[in-house]
Structure 1
Amino acid sequence: MTNNDPLHGKTLEMILTYLVDRFGWEKLSTYININCFKNNPSIKSSLTFLRKTPWARKKIEDLYISTLK
């Protein structure tokens, strides 16, 4: 049985790192308008915010999935 969930086995850090490598912080902040992507962004500070903020995490996951299509 295979798992068709594109998020299966992916950590939030892996997803965020992929998106930053693909788009950069500036472009990422235009797709998802959150301050941790605009003001002195870092993977660590963004992960802290995203882990506490379900709606923002969902946006990151949705953007990641859309890049796979």
Structure 2
Amino acid sequence: MSQEQINNPLHGLTLEKILTRLAEHYGWNGLYEHIRINCFANEPSIKSSLKFLRKTQWARDKVEALYLKTFK
């Protein structure tokens, strides 16, 4: 195991688990208030949000940062 993964607080968490937990905690409107991404405002779902976040690194970085701020 590399040193990077040992110190990675998100190691072992999938993007789906992160997004699901944030959506349960904040709700979609709350997520949109924290991170202004249209996939959280216009007919949001886990599936559509995951599709966008997997293709858009800057958005994924914001979601991961919010997760760390909220739960770690």
Normalized against structure 2, the TM-score is what? 0.89
Report matched runs for 1:1-69 at 5 Å: 3-69=6-72
What number of residue pairs does the alignment pair up?
Answer: 69
SS in 1 for 2:42: coil
SS in 2 for 1:21: helix
Q: Deviations over 1:2-55 (max 9, x none)?
A: x34220000000000000000000010010001100000000000000000000
Question: What is the aligned-residue identity percentage?
Answer: 63
SS in 1 for 2:53: helix
AA in 2 matched with 1:32:
I
Higher RCO structure, 1 or 2 (CA under 8 Å, sep 6+): 1
Structure 1 residue runs of 4 or more that deviate by more than 2 Å after TM superposition: none
Question: 2:3 aligns to what?
Answer: none
| Structure 2 unmatched ranges of 5 or more | 1-5
